[in-house]
A = this chain, B = another copy of it.
């Protein structure tokens, strides 16, 4: 059974299920309850700055914790709690706030198990909103998953639709490793079919969402709809059939899926919302020119944001975000 749910509602449902099925799951972050614990007849909760976690504090009053604005402290607290018997979901309101919360991820969560010779387990999930698209400007619009995906010891996932959001989040919460879960602004307001009940989408597996033999389009998160749109148009206008792959997981990377598609098509375009340097897009291209060298019939193209901060002005922001037009141009360039 499934029904249509918004992206946020799917996430909310996943947390609800995780907390019901495991008493050690807690949710903490800035305003995840949001007034929810205040007394007063005319007082209600906000459930997060985007309303995603609304209702959870009512179901689990002791396990939904509003924290002070202290990202370093709250992230480190999450890591400490994860190492000692809880399974915390930490909300980092916007991914840009990695700036104030990096150490507990980079030097603690990611390394504790290794440094302790395998004795520790850090079942921590970090939920965070990433990317541009809401005119939130330079400090609230970054796609910094390239940082978390680059850090050994962390996993990073990014769903492209509500059903995957629910299943990937459940998998992330139940994973015994620290997992960063990105919620891209570009698709935060979309909705889609979401299965009922408890299910997981495995971490590390990409999904083919359109079958084609001419060119591989590799997208993830908010760029998946962009790839789909480009594929539609290329099929219609150029008769080019795209093999569209949704990575879903940025670390581990499903190398098999990427190389398998490349083997079939010989041409590949990777579409990444982040800036180009040190990017997942570069990793995909580098994989192709190493393991997939013999399959390559054309240059691998990366369609990314420019090497620039995210601008505020709507017209500039729209130019900043990878578009179907740019994907189409890249494909045509290859042909």
Chain B residues near A209 (CB-CB < 8 A): none
Contact partner, A302, options B103, B114, B153, B286, Cβ 8 Å: B286
**B103, A309: Cβ atoms closer than 8 Å:** no
**A149, B278: Cβ atoms closer than 8 Å:** yes
A115 sits at the interface (CB 8 A): yes
A146 sits at the interface (CB 8 A): yes
**A308, B277: Cβ atoms closer than 8 Å:** no
Chain B residues near A105 (CB-CB < 8 A): 99
Known: A149-B278, A283-B282. A111 touches B289 (CB 8 A): no
Chain B residues near A306 (CB-CB < 8 A): 152
Chain B residues near A291 (CB-CB < 8 A): 299
Chain A window 90-124, contacts with chain B (Cβ cutoff 8 Å), 1 for yes, 0 for no: 00000010111011111100110011000000000
Contact partner, A115, options B111, B137, B286, B289, Cβ 8 Å: B137
**B300, A289: Cβ atoms closer than 8 Å:** yes
A212 sits at the interface (CB 8 A): no
Shortest CB distance A275–B (Å):
5
Range for the number of chain A residues in contact with chain B: 35 or more
**B115, A107: Cβ atoms closer than 8 Å:** no
Q: How far is it, in angstroms, between the C-alpha of A280 and the C-alpha of B302 when the chains are bound?
A: 15
Name the residue on B nearest A110 (C-beta).
B309
Shortest CB distance A144–B (Å):
8
Shortest CB distance A305–B (Å):
9
A298 sits at the interface (CB 8 A): yes
Shortest CB distance A209–B (Å):
24
**B102, A309: Cβ atoms closer than 8 Å:** no
Chain B residues near A296 (CB-CB < 8 A): 289, 293
Known: A278-B147, A278-B278. A106 touches B111 (CB 8 A): no
Chain B residues near A50 (CB-CB < 8 A): none
A158 sits at the interface (CB 8 A): no
Contact partner, A114, options B115, B300, B301, B308, Cβ 8 Å: B308
A11 sits at the interface (CB 8 A): no
Q: How far is it, in angstroms, between the C-alpha of A109 and the C-alpha of B223 when the chains are bound?
A: 28
Chain B residues near A146 (CB-CB < 8 A): 150, 278
Chain A window 262-283, contacts with chain B (Cβ cutoff 8 Å), 1 for yes, 0 for no: 0000000000000111111111
**Sample (10) of A-B pairs whose CB atoms are under 8 Å apart:** A111-B138, A114-B138, A147-B147, A151-B275, A152-B277, A153-B309, A278-B279, A285-B285, A289-B296, A290-B302
4 A-B pairs with least C-beta separation: A99-B103, A150-B278, A285-B286, A289-B289
